[in-house]
């Protein structure tokens, strides 16, 4: 989430009145409890559906514990576009160091959703993850519609993104996810349902276990939707049904409603959470920067709007980090996170060119491989208090020195 995306979002809003493409088969917004045609309702839910989450929280936490290898490890991957090269590099660097956990639960938002299946499947899929994020695969991702954007949706053509997802989300990958999920592990991805203005969390393992072309196609569509930044890429239309009525939902980037998530907000409020995940390890990868370097803001509309938009997103990310740290503390879990520091040069979330992706990927891999990628909340707080000694090893290695979380 950078100045470029902010500018594009603003530009898309300004030309939006010219876009007249009609929506088909959607006289009404879909009701709560609707499900994709041919799939059970349990494959997804809105994060505001407290009853559904309460009913499933304890059983899911027990299943995670039973699927664990002595410890329960949870990974949350944020949005960030091209910044996903950092997260991909971190995972491969952890493999190289021999310190990569086997994650019992992986959640993803936006570019984090695209990384999530590879993180879930483990080091055996590192070659595919490297191909997807180390550079060349994304070189043609940003194909402008030009003046066509005035009459359609999205400043950029959505086909390259769909093709990228189709290239890597193969029948083999979906079958591998289904096999892992059958053992109790969870792969969860978030999109934003614009019609209802709600975060929707999708159980990708449950989708994969349905099997067949429909499962593969829905799996791909959810990933594309989660990565489709509003105004930048076209939204994804998903047909759902309830009580015999078919609706068409508009889904976009999960980052439009949440920067990342370990557990939906409603779960954090459940006092009866099973003891089974207590003591778990929570890891969060911010695929970008949680703070921008200080600079003088130009006195013009575009820069002011862009800077304001970035400020909101950064604060939301830091707030989510703080909330997750509190959730971990209250449930006797350990919490670590990482991000690209504000003082490290970063091309931004639309910098999909090969040199930028490669440089960001190598940075994440290098810091993870030498064991200097995870930062605790106390270390981040130490920086805010100018206690440089606590972070001296990170500084000397040029690895993550994070902005304060409070």
DSSP E strand boundaries for 165-277: 186-193, 198-203, 236-242, 245-253
Nearest to 113 by CA among 225, 192, 278: 225
Residues 254 and 199 sit within 8 Å (Cβ to Cβ): yes
What is the structure's pLDDT at 52?
56
Residue 285's pLDDT band (boundaries 50, 70, 90)?
very high
Flag the least confident range among 135-139, 164-168, 289-293, 363-367.
Answer: 289-293
**% of the chain at pLDDT higher than 90:** 40
Dump pLDDT digits (tens) for 375-401.
887 777 666 555 556 567 777 777 875
pLDDT, one tens digit per residue, over 331-343 is: 788 999 999 887 7
Alpha-carbon distance of 138 to 154, in angstroms, equals 18
Question: Can you give the pTM of this predicted structure?
Answer: 0.84
**C-alpha distance from residue 372 to each of 106, 367, 392 (Å):** 22, 5, 11
From 277-281, 289-293, 351-355, the region with the lowest mean pLDDT: 289-293
Lowest mean pLDDT, pick from 61-75, 154-168, 215-229: 61-75
Buried b (16+ CB within 10 A) or exposed e, 99-120: ebbebbbbbbbbbbbbbbbbbb
- The H or E element containing residue 337 is strand 334-338
The predicted-structure confidence for 71-100, as pLDDT tens digits, reads as follows 889 999 999 888 999 999 999 999 999 999
pLDDT at 43 over 80: yes
**Stretch 201-227: mean pLDDT, rounded?**
96
Decide which of 66 and 279 is more confident.
279
């Amino acid at each position: 989430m950078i100045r470029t995306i902010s500018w594009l979002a603003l530009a898309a809003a300004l030309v939006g009145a010219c876009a007249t493409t009609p929506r088909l088969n959607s006289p009404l917004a879909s009701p709560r409890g609707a499900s994709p045609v041919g799939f059970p309702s349990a494959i997804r839910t809105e994060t505001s559906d407290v009853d559904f989450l309460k009913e499933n929280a304890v059983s899911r936490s027990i299943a995670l514990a039973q699927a664990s290898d002595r410890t329960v490890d949870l990974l949350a991957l944020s949005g960030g576009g091209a910044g996903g090269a950092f997260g991909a590099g971190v995972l491969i660097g952890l493999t190289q160091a021999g310190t990569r956990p086997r994650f019992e639960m992986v959640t993803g938002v936006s570019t984090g959703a695209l990384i999530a299946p590879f993180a879930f499947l483990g080091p055996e899929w590192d070659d595919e993850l490297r191909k997807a994020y180390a550079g060349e695969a994304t070189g043609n991702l940003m194909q402008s519609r030009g003046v066509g954007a005035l009459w359609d949706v999205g400043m950029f053509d959505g086909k390259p993104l769909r093709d990228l997802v189709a290239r890597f989300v193969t029948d083999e990958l979906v079958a591998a996810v289904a096999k892992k999920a059958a053992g109790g592990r969870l792969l969860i991805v978030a999109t934003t349902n614009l019609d209802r203005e709600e975060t929707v969390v999708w159980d990708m393992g449950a989708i994969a276990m349905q099997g067949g072309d429909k499962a593969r196609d829905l799996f791909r569509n959810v990933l594309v939707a989660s990565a489709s930044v509003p105004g930048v890429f076209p939204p994804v239309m998903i047909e759902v049904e309830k009580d015999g009525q078919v609706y068409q939902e508009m889904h976009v980037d999960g980052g439009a409603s949440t920067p990342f998530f370990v557990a939906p907000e409603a779960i954090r409020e459940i006092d009866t959470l099973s003891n089974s995940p207590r003591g778990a390890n929570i890891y969060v990868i911010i695929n970008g920067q949680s703070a921008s370097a200080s600079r003088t803001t130009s006195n013009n509309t575009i820069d002011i709007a862009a800077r304001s938009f970035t400020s909101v997103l950064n604060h939301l990310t830091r707030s989510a980090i703080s909330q997750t740290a509190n959730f971990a503390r209250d449930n006797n879990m350990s919490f670590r996170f990482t991000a690209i520091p504000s003082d490290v040069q970063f091309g931004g979330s639309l910098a999909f060119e090969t040199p930028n992706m490669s440089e960001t990927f190598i940075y994440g891999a290098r810091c993870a491989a030498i064991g200097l990628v995870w930062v605790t909340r106390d270390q981040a707080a130490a920086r805010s208090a100018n206690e440089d000694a606590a972070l001296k090893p990170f500084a000397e290695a040029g690895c993550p020195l994070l902005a304060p979380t409070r």
